[in-house]
Amino acid sequence: MNELLILPSAKYKQKVGYLTASLFVTVGVCIYLKYNPFLLFADFSPIQRLLGEMLPPNFSLLWQPTIGRAIAQTASMAFLATFYGCLIAFILAFLTATNTMPLKFVRVIVGAFLSLLRIIPPLVYILIFIIAVGLGSFSGMLALIAITVGMFGRLFTDIIENAEHSAADAVFSVGASRLQVIRFAVLPQIIPAFIANCLYAFDVNIRVAISLGIFGGGGIGYQLYMAMQVLHYQDAFALICLIIIMIVLIEKASDYFRIMILGKEKLR
């Protein structure tokens, strides 16, 4: 009886190659940093020391007026950054999409500008605007606007380019101008997706606003940074719990409204 020899597939070999390369990179980084990765599973003293200093959380801190103002400040930063950032990104997307901007050099220039905004890290933005306007929520909001334009400009461009061309061709065939084609054929198709993505942008900006606040952008993130600076770890843990609850609630609300606008199948 002849034995059937089954050779590994190319996809299996590719996965094994990726896994082997990742293993070699991990080992190399650990050797370079002189770090023993097995300590992560054997030495729990740092975690015990951390929990000992952070527990129990000081939830009485949350009733102070400064915390309420910090939460309102963070939400305001995220809302204004979402509004202005998405509006600017929406306008620039029309200048980048091939079906709304016939001039290639305009598409290239605006597309390069959006790519530049997208590749700059958020912490670099907050440092730039802190130098320009100083510490506080205003610099955090400006950084969030730049991040939002870079993040959603390309996404809005794809939404515009994926609009049905048949409706635009029908309106254009009866003598409509390019602006009229955008107004009556393109906009009605993309407005629901635009609103749903604005809700998603607000969800993302809340998280980023907290991170930027730690580096001087104001809001609840700055309160967390100050609590850590003065070694009030129980206050910091209470603020972390508050931040987690706030993010979960906003995420659930954002998902609910996006499902209402786009439907459950399109959201996936």
Residue 134 is predicted with a pLDDT of: 79
Distance of CA 172 to the CA centre of its chain: 37
Residues in Cβ contact with 147 at an 8 Å cutoff, skipping those fewer than 6 apart = 81, 85, 117, 122, 125, 205, 208
Residue with tokens 């100050």: 226
Residue 120 CB neighbours (<10 A):
14
| Residue range 52-59: mean pLDDT, rounded | 70
Residue 163 is predicted with a pLDDT of: 73
| Residue range 236-257: mean pLDDT, rounded | 83
d(CA 155, CA 64): 40
Per the model's pLDDT, the better-predicted residue between 164 and 46 turns out to be: 164
Q: Which CATH number fits domain 58-267: 3.60.130.10, 1.10.260.40, 3.40.190.10, 1.10.3720.10?
A: 1.10.3720.10
Share of residues in the chain with pLDDT > 90 (%): 1
d(CA 183, CA 29): 54
Enumerate the CATH 1.10.3720.10 domain ranges in the chain, comma separated.
Answer: 58-267
Residue 198 has pLDDT above 80, yes or no: yes
Residue 50 is predicted with a pLDDT of: 63
Residue 46 has pLDDT above 80, yes or no: no
| Residue range 230-257: mean pLDDT, rounded | 81
Residue 47 is predicted with a pLDDT of: 63
Residue 183 has pLDDT above 80, yes or no: no
Q: Are 161 and 73 in contact (CB under 8 A)?
A: no
What type of residue sits at position 216?
A: G
Residue 246 is predicted with a pLDDT of: 84
Length of the chain: 268
